[in-house]
Structure formats: C-alpha cells, structure tokens
C-alpha cells in the first residue's frame, strides 16, 4: 500500500518552505504538505499544514506568524535567538503558506473549510487571514474552543496554572508572570483567535455545513490537548492517510497534557486499519502507524520507570523534571520551563492513580512524592489496568 509523493519545492534553511504532494490511488484525494516556520530544538520544529483536495478544499491548521513564534519560543523563555532566526522576515510564514497553495494550483480564497487539529498557537493563530480571504468555515473540537476562540486563552492558561507551578517547585518566570508575558505580544491586535462555526462533538464523517464528505473521517484523539482531532482521508478497505496534528510525531515524542487519556488514544489509534501514511504537524512523516504507537508507548513506560525509581527518595515534580535525560532537551534547574514540569507531572499523576506513588510531604508550598515498595512491573501492570478500563466510553458523546 504505497502512496506516491511528489516534491514541489525543497526546504530552505532555517525555516521550512518545502511543499510536497501525496496522492491516494484510483483518483482519490490529494494531500499537499506545506511546511512553514516554527523553531526547532527550542520548539517542535517547522509546522506542516495540509491541503486536502477532495470534492471540497480543506486546509488543516494554519501555521504561526513568524514574529509570534520568535516571541513565544525565544523572548518569553529568555533564550538567545540565533542571528539567522532573528533575520527571518516577519511575513515568512504567510509567504510560505501562499507559495504552497500556489504550487498546488490554489489560492487562499478557494478554501472551503479550515480544520484545526488542536488549540495550540502553532495550529490556529494564522487562521484569521484564511477566513477573511475565503469565508471558509472553521472546524475544531468542542474541548479546544476555549483556546482557539479566546484571544487571551494562552495567557489565561499560564495564569491559571500559577498555583500548580508553585506546588511543583519550578522557579517562577524571572520577569514576574503572565502579566509581563503579555508585553512580548498583544494577542488582541494580532488577531489570533478564531470564531468556530463547526464544533466537533463526536467521531464521524466530515461535514462542511450540511454537506457530508464521507471519504474523510474526523476522529477525536485527545491527550496532547483535550480536543485534539485527527482526519482519516480515504475510505476504509483502501489505503488511507491519517493527519494527526501533534498526537503522533516522529522522531520527537509529543507532550501529553493528560497521560491517561493519551495512552487510551494510542490504544485506539492502534486499532485503526488501512492507514498507509501518517502525516504529523511537525517532523517526519511515517508509514507504520502501529510501530510508531509501539515506540511511543515504550517511551512512556521508560519515563514512568525513571520517575518511579527516582521517587524512592521523596521528590518534587521539578526534581523529576530536571533529572538528567528526563526531558527531551536539557532543563536548567533554576529556569522556568513549564513544558518540562508538565512532562514530569503527567507521569507522576498516572503513577499516583495506579498506587505507585503517594504524596509524602509539603515543604514551603512544594509537594514531595515517594514511590510504593512494589516492584515496578507490578505498578506498570496497574497503570495498564487503569488505562484499559475507561469509566466513560473512549469516544465521547455529548
Ligand atoms: Zn504543534
């Protein structure tokens, strides 16, 4: 089951720009991958947008404005910006998107539906221009609408996590908190939020207004964000393409915002048949869905073990996050890093649910946890029991 790929434009250092096309056999849909700027290393890497040409024209995700990416990944995290990144023009992402569309023989104006895989800024914050040019409808899952529809969603999320950040033991942001984060960019004036006029509540065929496109299935695959969506392009029984946002990435592993929910999603993804190609929003494409899911499960098992072993002595979440090799990039212990803290937190939460970890102590507002005396394999068995026994149906119905 191979899906041919044609490169229309190569990548240019450092910010993406590649355009390539994948075609389903027998006159099926065409999917064009358009790679736009998003920093690597400090960020998830260039953001891939996908243009699905079926009976309708669907753009999946929007990219992030270049200046906003610079502010979020360098200025707010107090990281030195390499000169080649500082020199990138502020309209680079927009130009890359327009070039990609032109190479596919399309214009922004032609888009019928903008599908947002999830409510993180690199996926929706350049959507306003799509809607203004095309009048496209905008689709997202109900659970990610608070981020996408509220221009202050990002800052309010950081502010709402402040008390948790203190309990975790992470250093505060040096310049005082979310209020000051706002000075790096003005969410209102950048027009980052979007009005959603097609809310996804449950899995099923794609709709645009009342028109049903049953060659594309929309699936709820939460765990990286509460409302992460995937799109299955092609009909069951023939090779299909899975566009999965940040839920599966390669070679980096996605950051779960809820590990229990994420592992349930991995189980579900393994059960999907006929996927011949997986197109993630960052990094490399891959063909073997089950193999990648297996690798990511193994990765989390080893993070759980590392967490469990480290907590033989009482540890805070931040102690675990700053263990050597725990996070995918080096974590400086005296520097604010909410992503690293969250990675440790979600593993510690799941171990607690499985009775493998319990809170030992609170000192100066910081919580410390200790592992149980059980062997890790026994605890991991209980983790799998918790994951495999959903109280609610994995496919939510509202
Ligand atoms: Zn992303």
Residue 395 belongs to a domain = no
Q: Are 266 and 293 in contact (CB under 8 A)?
A: yes
Residue 392 alpha carbon to ligand 1 centre in Å: 27
Residue 357 alpha carbon to ligand 1 centre in Å: 31
pLDDT of residue 206: 97
Residue 47 alpha carbon to ligand 1 centre in Å: 7
pLDDT of residue 394: 46
Q: Are residues 199 and 251 in the same domain?
A: yes
> Which CATH number is 230's domain given?
3.60.15.10
Q: Are residues 292 and 307 in the same domain?
A: no
Q: Are residues 116 and 163 in the same domain?
A: yes
Q: Are residues 36 and 9 in the same domain?
A: yes
pLDDT of residue 177: 55
pLDDT tens digit sequence for 192-224: 899 999 999 989 999 999 999 999 999 999 999
Residue 392 belongs to a domain = no
Residue 371 alpha carbon to ligand 1 centre in Å: 33
Residue 28 alpha carbon to ligand 1 centre in Å: 27
Structural domain count, the chain: 2
Residue 239 belongs to a domain = yes
Residue 294 CB contacts under 8 Å (≥ 6 apart), including other chains: none
Q: Are residues 208 and 337 in the same domain?
A: no
Chain-centre distance of CA 355, in angstroms? 29
Q: Are residues 263 and 355 in the same domain?
A: no
Residue 36 alpha carbon to ligand 1 centre in Å: 12
Residue 208 belongs to a domain = yes
Residue 214 alpha carbon to ligand 1 centre in Å: 27
3-state secondary structure of 384: helix
Residue 360 belongs to a domain = yes
Q: Which of 254, 277, 296 lies at the terminal end of a domain, its last residue?
A: 296
Residue 251 alpha carbon to ligand 1 centre in Å: 14
Q: Which of 296, 326, 358 lies at the terminal end of a domain, its last residue?
A: 296
Q: Are residues 198 and 310 in the same domain?
A: no
**Among the listed residues 30, 31, 66, the one whose alpha carbon sits nearest the alpha carbon of residue 47:** 66
3-state secondary structure of 7: strand
Residue 147 alpha carbon to ligand 1 centre in Å: 14
> Which CATH number is 322's domain given?
1.10.10
Q: Are residues 81 and 18 in the same domain?
A: yes
Regions of the chain short of the pLDDT cut 70: 1, 76-77, 174-185, 187, 189-190, 390-398
Residue 393 belongs to a domain = no
Q: How many CB atoms lie within 10 A of CB 186?
A: 10
Residue 162 alpha carbon to ligand 1 centre in Å: 23
Residue 364 alpha carbon to ligand 1 centre in Å: 35
C-alpha distance from residue 196 to each of 118, 137, 202, 245, 392 (Å): 12, 8, 16, 18, 26
Crossing angle of helices 338-353 and 376-387, in 10° steps, is 90
Domain hosting 206: range is 5-296
pLDDT of residue 398: 41
Q: Are 278 and 231 in contact (CB under 8 A)?
A: no
Q: Which of 254, 271, 296 lies at the terminal end of a domain, its last residue?
A: 296
Chain-centre distance of CA 397, in angstroms? 23
Residue 367 alpha carbon to ligand 1 centre in Å: 30
Distance separating alpha carbons of residues 178 and 181, to the nearest angstrom: 5
Residue 334 alpha carbon to ligand 1 centre in Å: 26
Residue 186 alpha carbon to ligand 1 centre in Å: 20
Q: Are residues 158 and 90 in the same domain?
A: yes
Q: Are residues 282 and 301 in the same domain?
A: no
Cis peptide before 14 (omega within 30 of 0): yes
Q: Are residues 9 and 128 in the same domain?
A: yes
Token representation of residue 151: 């221009």
Q: Are residues 182 and 304 in the same domain?
A: no
C-alpha distance from residue 314 to each of 161, 335, 343 (Å): 23, 22, 18
């Amino acid at each position: 089951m191979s899906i041919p790929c044609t490169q229309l434009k190569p990548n240019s250092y450092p910010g993406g720009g590649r355009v390539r096309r994948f075609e389903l056999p027998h006159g099926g849909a065409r999917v064009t991958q358009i790679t736009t700027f998003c920093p690597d290393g400090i960020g998830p890497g260039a953001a891939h947008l996908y243009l699905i040409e079926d009976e309708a024209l669907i753009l999946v995700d929007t990219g992030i404005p270049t200046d906003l990416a610079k502010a979020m990944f360098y200025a707010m995290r107090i990281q030195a910006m390499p000169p080649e990144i500082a020199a990138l023009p502020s309209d680079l992402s927009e130009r890359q998107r327009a070039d990609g569309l032109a190479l596919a023989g399309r214009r922004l104006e032609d888009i019928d539906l903008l599908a947002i895989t999830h409510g993180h800024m690199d996926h929706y914050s350049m959507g306003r221009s799509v809607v203004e040019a095309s009048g496209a409808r905008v689709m997202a899952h109900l659970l990610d609408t608070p981020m996408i529809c509220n221009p202050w969603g990002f800052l309010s999320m950081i502010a709402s996590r402040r008390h948790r950040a203190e309990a975790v033991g992470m250093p505060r942001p040096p310049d005082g908190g979310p209020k000051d984060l706002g000075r790096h960019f003005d969410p209102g004036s950048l027009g980052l939020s979007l009005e959603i006029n097609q809310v996804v509540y449950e899995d099923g065929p794609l709709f645009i207004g009342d028109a049903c496109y049953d060659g594309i299935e929309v699936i709820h695959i939460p765990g990286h964000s509460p409302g992460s969506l995937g799109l299955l392009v092609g009909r069951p029984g023939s090779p299909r393409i899975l566009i999965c946002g940040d839920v599966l990435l390669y070679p980096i592993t996605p950051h779960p915002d809820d590990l229990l929910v994420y592992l349930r999603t991995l189980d579900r993804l393994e059960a999907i048949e006929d996927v011949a190609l997986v197109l993630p929003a960052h990094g490399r494409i891959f063909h073997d869905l089950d193999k990648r899911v297996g690798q990511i499960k193994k990765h989390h098992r080893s993070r759980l073990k590392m967490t469990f072993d480290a907590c033989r002595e009482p540890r805070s979440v931040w102690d675990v996050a700053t263990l050597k090799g725990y996070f995918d990039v080096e974590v400086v212990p005296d520097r604010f890093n909410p992503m690293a803290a969250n990675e440790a937190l979600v593993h510690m939460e799941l171990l607690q649910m499985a009775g493998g970890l319990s809170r030992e102590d609170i000192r100066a507002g910081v919580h410390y946890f200790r592992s149980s005396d059980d062997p890790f394999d026994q605890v991991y068995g209980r983790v799998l029991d918790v994951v495999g026994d959903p109280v609610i149906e994995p496919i939510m119905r509202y």
